[in-house]
Every structure is written in structure tokens, then in C-alpha cells.
């Protein structure tokens, strides 16, 4: 008899999110007379404010430009799950470059072309490279991984991603001993990406969007360079053609539409840390014991089947449930001070 030991990140069938809620944000703030995301007014009740008003049905359904993409099962796959409905993942997005309400990215990213696309990897490496996305797809082993996704806004999902380990990509460039951090940068092209040229659409962010990890975090097997979800290539609003998924961190660490990766000796700046340093730290590990200044992080609204109004609340897990694999990375580090 074959007995399978389930790892700590295993999701039971009743824990998986249905596919129809991944949509709408900042215009609700204006309608309610609240200030931008970094103002001190909001409370825990506002943590999910931007997504509660998503319409049950779009007047103009999203036109899916994706193509089928198959990945092999990995040890991070789970079988038999009732997954988050795909339409929610496609229409419930935080991607400020294409609008600050959850529904805007799916509409404003229509027609966004991601072919051709190149990724430059340089800095503290032996072999700096610029790779065509086709080369990346051919040279990397694509896997399917079902991960929990936890937003700093205190809502969560479970999503079947397709991608490859960031470590496998970084090994191509041979990081030097000076490489202590890995910085990421989103495409900057205001003509193609409306939010990068308009405060009202782009949320007042200093673009291009940038993010970063320690080299140890980047090389952890869980860290995924993502090229698809639900058996297809990524849609523009989900970060096509290449985004980062770090499942034990809050979702804003998952930078989208990546064009540059720099390996550095010094800690790099990150977009949300620059915008609100008292609210968004560099590490951004999911931690139910460290509240956001404006709401509790002890629990989350799990988005599943049915209306977002009926979504159940559940306790937030330390490291989003991945502590067995990543807690050792932070041994001796004060996680309340280094949030």
C-alpha cells in the first residue's frame, strides 16, 4: 500500500478557493471619501474594502487571450482539489499599472502585447544574460504548483500556478559571493501601460514597480517564476508573461510582468516599502502576530464559491502555512521589527 505523507502546505479540498474572485479597488476609496492606501484613517473593517463591491457579473466579459500550457506535477502539486474559479482569478486583480480597482486590470490590459519579451539578469553574476521569453520557456522545466495566496488586505485564495523555480533561472547566471539580494523590475512603458502615466489610474506609485528578496529567499525551492495558471499562459492582468510567486509572503511581493532581475550586495528599494514604510516592510512575511497599522492580520477572508459577501473568515497561518520550509531563513531575526 502506498501511503502519502502530506506536507504542511497541503490544502484540503474545502480549503481551495473557487475561480471567480480576483477583481476591484481604489475607486471605492474615492466614493467613500477615504484617502489613498497609505493614509492612517482605515481600520480592520477597511482591509477588504476595495474588493467587497465587485459586481457579480461584468458587463463586458474578459476576452481570454491565453493559450494552453502544460506543466508536470511536482511535489508541490496536490490532486483532487476544488480550485478557485478561474473567472475570479481573471477578474479580481491588484495590478495598479492597469488601474487601482479590482476590475480595471482585466479591462485596461486588453490588447497588452507580451510577445516579443526579454528578461535581463545582471549584477553580481558571472554570466549576465538577456533571455527571450521563448528561450526561457524552452529551457526551464514547467511545473504545476497549488499555493495559498494571501493578500496584505486580509483576503486569500488558493491558485494552481504554472512555472519554474527562481533558483533554476539564477543558476544560469552563476551568482557571485557578493550577491546578497535579488531585485526585480516590471516593464516601464507608459504608452502601453496606462497606470504608469496617470496618477488617477496608477495610484500615485513611482514606476517602474520594483521588488526584492534576499538571495536565500530567492533560492528557496518554493519561490516560483510563474508563466501560467489554470493550465494556460498568464493573462495580462495576472502579470503576463512572467511574474514572481513567493507563497509565504504577502501578495504585493509577487511582482508582475518582469523584465529585469538584478543581483546586488545591498538591500534594494521596493515599491510599497517606499510608498508606506510604516505599513509595508521589505520582508513582508505573512504573520498573524504583526498587524497592519490599519487592520488586524490575525484572520483573512477566504474567497471561494459564491458571493464575496458570503466568504468565510479563517485564521491566518504563520508564513501562510509554509513555515516548515521557510522558518529557518529567519532564525534570529525579529519578525515584528522586520515585518
Determine the pLDDT at residue 105.
95
Please give the backbone phi and psi of residue 15, each rounded to the nearest 5 degrees, phi first.
Answer: -95, -10
Q: Across residues 312-317, what is the average pLDDT?
A: 91
CATH topology for 13-330?
Sulfite Oxidase; Chain A, domain 2 (3.90.420)
Structure confidence by residue, pLDDT tens digits, 3-19: 344 454 445 444 443 33
- Most confident range, picked from 95-104, 107-116, 299-308, 324-333: 324-333
SS3 285: strand
- Are 95 and 239 in contact by the 8 Å Cβ rule? The answer is yes
Looking at the predicted structure, is the pLDDT value of residue 41 above 90? no
Q: To the nearest whole number, what is the mean pLDDT of the chain?
A: 83
Determine the pLDDT at residue 63.
66
Please give the backbone phi and psi of residue 46, each rounded to the nearest 5 degrees, phi first.
Answer: -90, -5
Total-model pTM = 0.84
Determine the pLDDT at residue 57.
43
Determine the pLDDT at residue 203.
72
Looking at the predicted structure, is the pLDDT value of residue 22 above 90? no
HSE-up of 306 (CA within 13 Å, CB side)?
5
The confidence band for 129, taking pLDDT boundaries of 50, 70 and 90, is: very high
- Are 179 and 170 in contact by the 8 Å Cβ rule? The answer is no
The confidence band for 25, taking pLDDT boundaries of 50, 70 and 90, is: very low
The cell numbers describing 46, all together, are 477597511
Determine the pLDDT at residue 21.
30
The confidence band for 204, taking pLDDT boundaries of 50, 70 and 90, is: confident
Question: How far is residue 4 from each of residues 75, 215, 221, measured CA to CA in Å?
Answer: 11, 32, 20
The confidence band for 29, taking pLDDT boundaries of 50, 70 and 90, is: very low
Output the known binding site for Mo-molybdopterin.
93, 96-97, 151, 186, 238, 243, 254-256
Cα(250)–Cα(66) distance, rounded to whole angstroms? 26
User: Which strands, in side-by-side order, build the sheet including 258-264?
Assistant: 129-132, 118-123, 258-264, 181-186, 210-214
Amino acid at each position: 500500500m502506498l501511503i502519502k505523507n502530506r506536507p504542511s502546505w497541503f490544502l484540503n479540498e474545502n480549503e481551495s478557493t473557487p475561480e471567480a474572485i480576483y477583481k476591484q479597488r481604489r475607486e471605492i476609496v474615492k466614493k467613500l471619501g477615504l484617502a489613498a492606501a497609505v493614509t492612517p484613517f482605515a481600520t480592520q473593517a477597511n482591509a477588504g474594502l476595495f474588493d467587497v463591491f465587485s459586481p457579480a457579473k461584468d458587463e463586458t466579459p474578459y476576452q481570454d487571450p491565453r493559450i494552453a500550457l502544460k506543466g508536470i506535477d511536482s511535489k508541490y502539486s496536490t490532486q483532487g482539489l476544488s480550485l478557485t474559479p478561474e473567472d475570479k482569478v481573471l477578474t479580481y486583480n491588484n495590478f495598479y499599472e492597469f488601474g487601482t480597482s479590482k476590475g480595471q486590470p482585466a479591462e485596461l490590459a486588453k490588447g497588452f502585447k507580451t510577445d516579443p519579451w526579454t528578461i535581463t539578469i545582471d549584477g553580481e553574476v558571472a554570466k549576465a544574460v538577456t533571455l527571450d521569453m521563448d528561450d526561457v520557456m524552452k529551457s526551464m522545466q514547467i511545473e504545476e504548483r497549488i499555493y495559498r495566496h494571501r493578500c496584505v488586505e486580509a483576503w486569500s485564495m488558493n491558485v494552481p500556478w504554472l512555472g519554474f523555480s527562481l533558483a533554476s533561472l539564477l543558476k544560469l547566471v552563476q551568482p557571485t559571493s557578493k550577491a546578497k539580494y535579488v531585485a526585480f523590475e516590471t516593464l516601464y512603458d507608459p504608452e502601453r501601460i496606462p497606470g504608469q502615466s496617470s496618477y488617477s489610474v496608477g495610484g500615485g506609485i513611482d514606476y517602474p514597480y520594483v521588488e526584492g528578496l534576499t538571495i536565500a529567499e530567492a533560492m528557496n525551492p518554493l519561490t516560483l517564476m510563474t508563466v501560467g495558471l489554470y493550465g494556460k499562459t498568464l493573462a495580462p492582468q495576472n502579470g503576463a508573461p512572467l511574474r514572481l510567486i513567493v507563497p509565504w509572503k504577502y501578495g504585493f511581493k509577487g511582482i508582475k510582468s518582469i523584465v529585469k532581475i538584478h543581483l546586488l550586495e545591498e538591500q534594494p528599494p521596493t515599491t510599497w516599502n517606499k510608498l508606506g514604510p510604516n505599513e509595508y516592510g521589505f520582508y513582508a512575511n505573512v504573520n498573524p502576530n504583526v498587524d497592519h497599522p490599519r487592520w488586524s492580520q490575525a484572520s483573512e477572508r477566504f474567497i471561494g464559491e459564491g458571493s464575496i459577501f458570503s466568504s468565510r473568515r479563517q485564521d491566518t497561518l504563520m508564513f501562510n502555512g509554509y513555515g516548515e520550509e521557510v522558518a529557518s531563513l529567519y532564525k534570529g531575526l525579529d519578525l515584528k521589527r522586520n515585518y
